[in-house]
Structure 1
Amino acid sequence: MADVHESLMTAEEFEELARAADRIAEGVRLEFIGGHLGAKTLPDGDHGLIIQWLIRLFLMVRPELFLTPGRGLKVDRYREGRARPDGALAGADSFVGVGEWADPMPVLMVVEVTSNDQDTERRDRREKPRAYADTGIPVYLLIDRGSCEIKVYSEPNDGRYERILTVPFGGVVHLPEPVDIDMDTEPLKDWVR
């Protein structure tokens, strides 16, 4: 009998499954976090607009960094997980020559924007903060359209973020080092349905 914490699939088996799913399943992206297979629906228009807004913001205030949408990352302590955050902030050349699943070492921040699907609670609010902290990604920015709040997770330590800052849409939020910018979230109020 398998250990309840043992994964039923290897990272390599997942990558093969994800490639096959990309070819045959429109509108779905697969992820493999904490030994669990998950599916993300493709984003709606407001979701896409939020990511575009963030890309423009970073081009203006931190032009040496790129926010790359949908970048596949190897996550979890032993890098056996595979996640596709809505955005990965890293140096402009960090992913040059890298295949589909990148080492997260150069990533300064990951971004997730919640969707209106049944897995958001489990995936974006519980599994991903653990996986990203376990990986050592310094900042996890969650734009939670369900609660109309920004959550900034920082200071990863032993599989969890020690600091979590929550700001309602419309406020100014500081993204801590190594990102180190203040972000006015007023525009987000217009992109929630």
Structure 2
Amino acid sequence: MTPRTTEHRPQMSVEDFEELERRAPETVWLEFINGKVVVKPMPDGNHSEIVAWLQRLCMQHCPDMWLHAERGLQTERYRKGRARADGVLVPRGAFKGHGEWSETGAVLMAVEVTSWDADTARRDRVDKPDGYAAAGIPVYLLIDRDDCSVTVFTHPEGGRYRQQVNKPFGSTVEIPAPVNLALDTEPLKEFVD
């Protein structure tokens, strides 16, 4: 009998997922989103360059913060999800002593950069914003290479972000408190081919 995924009946328990993820080969990253195991694609070079670009900007403008790449977070309602964010902005030292999957209390911003796989639309544009909002992460930054845009999601409430601002690459994007950062997104144009 094949388990069916619903909001009430996930494919497996969080504990079983974490054991599966620990045993997965290093070439595969797994996430547990909305009760379903999903494979997160390995980042391509342009994806990695975008995350490095954002890390450098955060270091320059937020010296007491660090943007961790590929950090595992406990997300969704009651921390039943496991998402590996492309970037997580936290105060320096916030993950000290943590295991692979961290609670989100210290997270100021989660970042995702779209990949070139078929699931990116649902995963990065719907499932992850809902999971990050439900976990109380104040800001979700989506760098969408398909749409050549940047979306800033803010004001998490009731498992959803109540505000979204979407701007095309080349615009200045304001990321509000608690991040307080203005991004000149012109450099992102070179990473969409």
TM-superposed deviation, 1:19: 1.0
Which secondary structure does the structure 2 equivalent of 1:22 belong to? Answer: coil
Residue aligning to 1:152: 152
Residue aligning to 2:6: 4
Answering whether residue 116 of structure 2 is matched by residue 116 of structure 1, we say yes
CA distance in 1, matches of 2:104, 2:129: 14
Identity of matched residues, %: 49
Instruction: Report if the CA contact (8 A) 2:6-2:35 is conserved.
Output: no
Aligned amino acid, residue 119 of structure 1: D
CA distance in 2, matches of 1:54, 1:36: 29
CA distance in 2, matches of 1:3, 1:192: 34
TM-score, normalising length from structure 2? 0.95
TM-superposed deviation, 1:8: 2.2
* Residue 20 (structure 2) aligned to one of 5, 17, 20: 17
TM-superposed deviation, 1:56: 0.5
Summarize deviations over 1:47-95 as a string: whole Å, max 9, x none. Answer: 0000100110011000100000011110011101100000000001100
Cα RMSD (Å): 1.3
Alignment of 1:14-163 (within 5 A): 14-23=17-26, 26=27, 28-163=28-163
CA distance in 2, matches of 1:2, 1:170: 43
Give the count of matched residue pairs.
190
Answering whether residue 181 of structure 2 is matched by residue 181 of structure 1, we say yes
Aligned amino acid, residue 46 of structure 1: N
In structure 2, the gaps of 5 or more residues are: none
TM-score, normalising length from structure 1? 0.95
Which secondary structure does the structure 2 equivalent of 1:53 belong to? Answer: helix
